[in-house]
Amino acid sequence: MALDDTWFTETNADNGAAFSLKLSKKLHEEQTTYQRITIYETEHFGTLMTIDDLYMVSDRDNFLYHEMMSHPALFTHDAPKDVLIIGGGDCGTLREVLRHPSVTCAQQVEIDERVTRLSEKYFPELCASNNDPRAELHFVDGIKWIKDSKPDRYDLIIVDSTDPVGPAEGLFTEAFHRDCLRVLRPGGIFIQQSESPLYHMELIASLHGALRRAGFSDVKTMPFPQPVYPSGWWSATMAGKGRDLAKFRDADARAKPFDTTYYNADVHRAALALPEFMRKRLA
């Protein structure tokens, strides 16, 4: 919540913690059909978007999330061509996906069109690939999109959602994961943002169970830093359809034909090595 006109503070009451950014001004605020979107200019983190008074994306640290939600999965797949992004309305993940020359189609399915339209205005660098001929933007319910999709449709599904409440709650269920497995091709990969290992370990363990019960053969969680999200430590959880996720195209990652800020082959390999408390909890 914004305590005054000087600071934006998100409080995590369950863990007795909070994180604040000093503001310069409010740029925009609106209530959409689904949520309240507010955009600020901050003194040190650039432009900031919040949804329902929770941090969503900032100029300064969004590269961590967008790169880790995309490149590990894309470099684990042998030759990803058809990619589906559920959520991802700020379009940063879409931009990273389209850096890969093998991708021929990237469909982004975001329920709230206003997130994307405001991102195009206030985060134009994240939306730089929106007009790429390989990109398709669809503003509908991602759960229904998956349910209506034909089997063996995608090589990769990325669930770039908000926290598992409100419109995103159904994206964390076993039934949804089972539908995702059905529409993935053999050897396909599913990846989903999975909250903080420090604050939400029960959710991560539950997600592993749901993915395995849905039929995925391998499940791995990769932690990474994310300053504006609760605890400053976030994660993405990958699941493979008949694929060993520990093996990735190391040589291709080292020779990637595009620049990144955080991701590289060594970061990828390191992210697969879990801290001891996570390893024990997910065993």
Q: CA angle, 282 as apex, 280 and 283 as ends, to 5°?
A: 65
Domain boundaries, the chain: 7-58, 62-282
Alpha helices per DSSP H over 131-239? 142-148, 174-183, 201-214
Q: Are 171 and 161 in contact (CB under 8 A)?
A: yes
92-119 confidence digits (pLDDT tens): 999 999 999 999 999 999 999 999 999 9
Q: Are 45 and 35 in contact (CB under 8 A)?
A: no
- Fold matches, 7-58 and 62-282: no
Top-tier CATH class for 7-58: mainly beta
Torsion 118-27-194-128 (CA) sign: positive
Max distance between CA atoms of the chain, in angstroms, equals 52
Show which residues are catalytic. Answer: 160
Phi-psi region of 78 (alpha: psi -120 to 50; beta: other; left: phi over 0): alpha
211-224 confidence digits (pLDDT tens): 999 999 999 999 99
Strand-pair category, 82-87 with 154-160: parallel
Distance CA(258)–CA(100), nearest Å, equals 8
Q: Are 65 and 134 in contact (CB under 8 A)?
A: no
Q: Give the CATH fold of the 62-282 domain.
A: Rossmann fold (3.40.50)
Token pair 């398709």 is found at 136
110-166 confidence digits (pLDDT tens): 999 999 999 999 999 999 999 999 999 999 999 999 999 999 999 999 999 866 656
Distance CA(223)–CA(260), nearest Å, equals 18
